[in-house]
Copies of this chain bind each other. A is one copy, B any other.
Amino acid sequence: MWQVSDADLEAIAIGAGILGTGGGGNPYVGQLRAKQAIKKWGPVTVLAPEELPEDAQVVCVGGIGAPTVGVEKIRDVQSYHALRAIESYTGKKATALISNEIGGSNSVEPMIPAAMAGLPVVDADGMGRAFPEFQMKTFFVYGVPCCPMALADEKGNTVIIPQAVSPKWAERLARAVTVQMGCVACYAVTPMTTEQVQTTAVLHTLSLARDLGNAVNNARRRKEDVLEAIFKTCPGKTLFSGKIVDLERRTTSGFARGTVSLTGLGDYNGQELAIDFQNENLVARRNGQIVCTVPDLICVVDTDTGEPVTTELLRYGLRVTVLGLPSPHQWTSPQGLAVVGPQAFGYDVGYTPLAL
Contacts and interface: CB of A to CB of B under 8 A. Distances in A.
B157 A160 contact: no
A66 to B, nearest CB: 15
A165 interface: yes
A163 interface: yes
Contacts of A193: none
A5 interface: no
Interface size class on chain A is: 20 to 34
A181 B164 CA distance: 11
Interface string A134-146: 0000000000000
Contacts of A163: 156-158
A122 B161 CA distance: 29
A269 interface: no
Given A155-B169, A156-B165, A158-B162, 9 more contacts: A89-B89, A157-B161, A157-B165, A157-B173, A159-B160, A159-B173, A160-B160, A173-B177, A173-B181
A175 B44 CA distance: 39
A45 to B, nearest CB: 30
Nearest to A156: B165
Contacts of A159: 159-162, 173, 177
Interface of A: 85, 88-89, 155-165, 169, 172-173, 176-177, 179-181
13 contacts: A89-B160, A89-B162, A156-B163, A156-B165, A157-B169, A157-B173, A158-B162, A159-B160, A160-B160, A160-B162, A173-B177, A173-B181, A176-B176
Contact of A179 (B89, B155, B157, B176): B176
A85 B165 contact: no
A266 B153 CA distance: 57
Contacts of A176: 176-177, 179-180
Contact of A158 (B158, B161, B177): B161
A222 to B, nearest CB: 51
Please provide the 5 A-B residue pairs with the shortest distance between their CB atoms, ordered closest to farther. Answer: A176-B176, A160-B160, A156-B165, A176-B180, A158-B163
Contacts of A162: 85, 88-89, 158-160
A155 B172 CA distance: 13
A293 B131 CA distance: 49
A87 to B, nearest CB: 12
Contacts of A179: 176
Contacts of A156: 163-165
